[in-house]
Structure 1
């Protein structure tokens, strides 16, 4: 079974937590508190008076005086009793300023010096801590179980709810395991929230563990319990695992709803499995479950992303025929695609239709609209539109501001974008890494590499600091400009920040080293990429082949070509075109048996499944026109054939 996942929390983890507590409580503060159990004051009142005084101190939150008074009871035989200690704990918990650590220290004092804690001690501590300190409450539960006392369902249920409320999922899983030990199970609303929260933070295996344990015990829950797991699996690229869970729950008699089917359709679309997605759309409808606006929007976006514009618009029409009106999210998806295709007339009409349907633009609308315009090169239109939005006083989010910064940078106004960002920050705007990277890239495009490098240090990045995009922007520009000083500094900075070189950054370095003519170093760099991550792409190899051929090192280029052929780094049509063009240009008619000639290259190219393209045709036509291949009728015959 694909769901045989082990729980994230084990009892060894609990043991570690206990050791942590014991270490914490072995401080000088704890020892000072425990000393009260060893010493007694000489001034002793009558026992009832001491009880009254102790509880009064405890109710007022004066723990030290309450504990001191408790110790005065040692002057009476058999005192203080465990009931006296419990009364102190209870009264102190009723105060407004109870300190959880002092309570645990007193419990440790009782355990070491007496009177030994009883069930009432544990219940008093647990009932008080469950409302305020989950970590200490878990410690008390662990101690309670070691002493062979059983925590109540109510206490453990409250602890689980508190873990959910504060997002403390590690302790929440520990509490859940204790509930299992005593054959308790959470209420359905609590379980639904717990599983949902686990899925939200990526703890899908733990969520499945929680559900599967209860299923094995014979409990069957409603669809709202396992739908979050379905969605989490589909969002993480495990749609077929989600499908198995879907079928398992169906076998157990669960009735799926539109959310269940939509999760699978989303997962299959996300993984590019169109046939599976549409098959489940049909199954969904045949099972009497009507797709909703989310289902349709997922499919429409998938079709747009795969270049099937007309088919996507047909689904929009199908939505309306099924009386499932597109919402603002659907409209934003459509609007974004219209912008990407540059259909300005349709955009204007569509916005009017949105207004007629009561769908008024939000930040996502403007982000979709202006982002789409930018991608199609309509920077000026996007710029003017955003100025109108800002002047109207419409509240927008960081994504829209970032698009505006990008507009300025694409119009070669990076300094203006930087100045605007600073003034926005003074007005309370909190930029993110996208904002900073946008301006960095703008400065790099304008070849202001030194200023870009200075900005790398001056920006107030988030906790993770600059990312690979930031470094790659500067590194690629420095390589293009041949600025070795900046290249070395950025590589040192990346090493210091523990940012790994990507294929893109390594390819930039290959280009830079090739331009310097140091081909031995360049080939070492490529070899190191082949032997470790990141793996080079065919673009990297073609870049190396091109530069070798450009520098009349055709023999070396052939050797590299042959060494990577039929490997995972298989060349493409461009690779063949580079070698054919270089051979013809240099009139390097190499002998068969030592290297391949042009005809061999063409034949192998076809055998490997690569059809000559327009570039190949242009290269050979020019060669025929110039007479370069007159002595090689086999090439002419091959091409004309």
Structure 2
């Protein structure tokens, strides 16, 4: 393998200090030599001689050369290991070199020297590296075991450069899987992902000489999947390829790491990868734990992929992977989430009847009860709670009651919710803030705000404190009820109690204060909102702009628009319509048309409200021609068609100006354009017809109202009663009110 590209490392003299701080990862130093078990008399004589003779006289001893020449390389290794200390071992190694011993014997003797040095000087990597450099300088071969020993030692000492140097010094033919695993561990410890992947590529090569083993798999995934991983992020695709590559060698991650891989894929939305890896493991006969299947089922549920969920459940049965209560919990939860409640009930019944070998727990019952309540079947949820109590002896808990209370409150049955609340109290079931908020929300949404406030105060006296959601519910309710004073008091109480208002509270207060015309207070809330780190949205900006326009404070509205643009919020159709309506109300048509042009230039299509504001303003200022021109422009070129409201404005104005013929023409235009007139349309026309005394024409439109099922209101009756009574035609009015045609009658 070619030398790995390395970044500059810290100086060697700092390595000892680094090594001493590795208290979380104790060194695995070479064990002391085992007791002698060699019966060779030559071995015993040689060891005795070396131990009893001064090492300076070894080179001149008459019998030592003969004894040494009779020993095998393994005996040389053993002999060196049994010398009393490192210095003796090193001197013996040097002695062997002078006596021209075989290279294999020298390599094993050097290995023993290293072992002695590690035992005596565990915190001195300099000495080990010096020995290694010495062996290279003297062309002493390093045994494979010695190389692995050094690689592991330098890896633990964070001496990556030295580790790679040892690895490169070993002949390619001598390297083995054990050594590559040691190098991998070192590279991964240092976070050198790309270098580690190159080593793995060699090992995973089908024609490679050093295939991976189970230690390789554990080394790789224990690094890549640990939480405090310091290297670059390994992608899901790289993990997937590694799992597949190991699988081709008949290897797979352990159950723990396999579950981590599946969970990671599922968490990142890679359900296809999780599916592929899981089935690869299943098909290879590997031990697949139910936890891994549960992780994938959870992901598939989020994707609403019930086809694959059902298939996986079936395959689990076929492969002997027994689902547990969590498995069925995932299935039932997702069925309920997708409102497939009857299927969830069916699964629950099978569990109760013992058909699947897993009994339901209270969590599963609560899941189904909550699902029933979410779809408005709270009565069935109540029945299921009683069955749970009787059949399984499970007492309902807080979650059970909260689900049922929420179900009844959602459909407006607040009293039933309060009955369940009292039942909770009697049974000693703990109340929590969710119970409180559920009831408060139900009361407020169904117009019982005062009752909600009383209930909140009573719960507070019992020690159940509200949270931010509690205050949000109450403040929003009082804003909607236009009780801004109460909402503001609650807002201050909320802050005093340490509950941080959320953006919904701020939006609600801004809207309520603006509608009440309290723009200074609204601006104050905006400032507090910004101090809390929240930003206004387009709805709140539009609310404020509209409020300032109604107060005729265009300068303040302009400030809001400037702030909106600086915050990166672009004006929308409502913004432009608000400004255009303001200028129209002031009769400033030049400015109104400038707003309209800017609106179009910004790519926002004017709405019927936009044109309606202009038409109404022109009608109010008695500029009928301009109003009719806008209508013609809408009909000819605009994508927005005039609606009933716009036609009503024009018909009412024409009739007031006694231009009844033009009003009737607009009625025909409405019919042609399939715009349905309403009671207001006919009322405006009847007023105009009365001024002209066009009785027969009025009868025609009375019949049209009847045919179109457009019911008259009190204004219609008031107009017609006064007119028809004056001309003696009250019978016509009676028949009209009864729903009969009147124009064909002669009476």
Is TM > 0.5 for Structure 1 vs Structure 2? yes
Q: Is the 8 A contact 2:634 2:640 kept in 1?
A: no
Following superposition of structure 1 onto structure 2, how do residues 507-546 of structure 1 map, counting pairs within 5 Å? 507-509=608-610, 511-512=612-613, 514-515=615-616, 517=628, 518-523=630-635, 541-546=643-648
Which residue is 1:637 aligned to?
Answer: 735
Report whether the alignment pairs 1:217 with 2:320.
Answer: no
Report whether the alignment pairs 1:453 with 2:453.
Answer: no
Report whether the alignment pairs 1:92 with 2:187.
Answer: yes
Query: In the aligned structure 2, how far is the partner of 1:56 from the partner of 1:548?
Result: 93
Match of 2:436 among 309, 313, 331: 331
Which residue is 1:431 aligned to?
Answer: 534
Which residue is 2:198 aligned to?
Answer: 105
Which residue is 1:477 aligned to?
Answer: 578
Relative to structure 1, is the Cα distance of residues 222 and 85 closer, same or farther in structure 2, using a 3 angstrom cutoff? closer
Relative to structure 1, is the Cα distance of residues 88 and 597 closer, same or farther in structure 2, using a 3 angstrom cutoff? same
Aligned-pair CA distance for 1:92: 3.3
Aligned-pair CA distance for 1:310: 4.8
Q: Deviations over 1:41-93 (max 9, x none)?
A: x987623365555555544455566445534434x7x2444443333213434
Report whether the alignment pairs 1:602 with 2:706.
Answer: yes
Report whether the alignment pairs 1:278 with 2:379.
Answer: yes
Which residue is 1:619 aligned to?
Answer: 716
Following superposition of structure 1 onto structure 2, how do residues 69-88 of structure 1 map, counting pairs within 5 Å? 69-74=166-171, 78-88=173-183
Question: May I ask how many residue pairs the two structures share in their alignment?
Answer: 548
Structure possessing the higher radius of gyration over alpha carbons: 2
Aligned-pair CA distance for 1:296: 4.6
Q: Deviations over 1:412-436 (max 9, x none)?
A: 454654455446645xx221555x7
Match of 2:476 among 350, 355, 371: 371
Describe the SS at the equivalent of 1:626: helix
Query: In the aligned structure 1, how far is the partner of 2:562 from the partner of 2:683?
Result: 43
Which residue is 1:119 aligned to?
Answer: 212
Q: Is the 8 A contact 1:591 1:597 kept in 2?
A: no
Following superposition of structure 1 onto structure 2, how do residues 322-361 of structure 1 map, counting pairs within 5 Å? 327-336=432-441, 338-339=443-444, 346-347=451-452, 349-361=454-466
Q: Deviations over 1:216-263 (max 9, x none)?
A: 43155344434455445545xx31x34324424534546555555555
Match of 1:144 among 246, 253, 269: 246
Which residue is 1:578 aligned to?
Answer: 680
Q: TM-score, normalised by structure 2?
A: 0.60
Q: Is the 8 A contact 1:192 1:225 kept in 2?
A: yes
Relative to structure 1, is the Cα distance of residues 542 and 99 closer, same or farther in structure 2, using a 3 angstrom cutoff? farther
Query: In the aligned structure 1, how far is the partner of 2:728 from the partner of 2:244?
Result: 90
Q: Is the 8 A contact 1:418 1:439 kept in 2?
A: no
Query: In the aligned structure 2, how far is the partner of 1:408 from the partner of 1:103?
Result: 63
Describe the SS at the equivalent of 1:511: helix
Query: In the aligned structure 2, how far is the partner of 1:562 from the partner of 1:311?
Result: 54
Q: Deviations over 1:182-233 (max 9, x none)?
A: 355754556556655765xx43327x73464034431553444344554455
Query: In the aligned structure 1, how far is the partner of 2:636 from the partner of 2:140?
Result: 89
Bigger mean CA offset, 281-290 vs 348-357: 281-290
Gaps of at least 5 residues in structure 1 are: 1-29, 36-41, 496-500, 530-539, 566-570
Report whether the alignment pairs 1:205 with 2:302.
Answer: no
Describe the SS at the equivalent of 1:382: helix
Q: TM-score, normalised by structure 1?
A: 0.69
Q: Deviations over 1:431-475 (max 9, x none)?
A: 1555x7435422322225433332222237xxxx67xxx735424
Relative to structure 1, is the Cα distance of residues 118 and 438 closer, same or farther in structure 2, using a 3 angstrom cutoff? same
Query: CA-atom RMSD, angstroms?
Result: 4.6
Gaps of at least 5 residues in structure 2 are: 7-135, 585-591, 617-626, 655-662, 740-747
Aligned-pair CA distance for 1:104: 0.9
Query: In the aligned structure 2, how far is the partner of 1:325 from the partner of 1:630?
Result: 75
Which residue is 1:14 aligned to?
Answer: none
Which residue is 1:157 aligned to?
Answer: 259
Following superposition of structure 1 onto structure 2, how do residues 407-446 of structure 1 map, counting pairs within 5 Å? 407-414=512-519, 417-418=522-523, 421-422=526-527, 425-426=530-531, 429-432=532-535, 437-446=539-548
Match of 1:250 among 331, 334, 349: 349
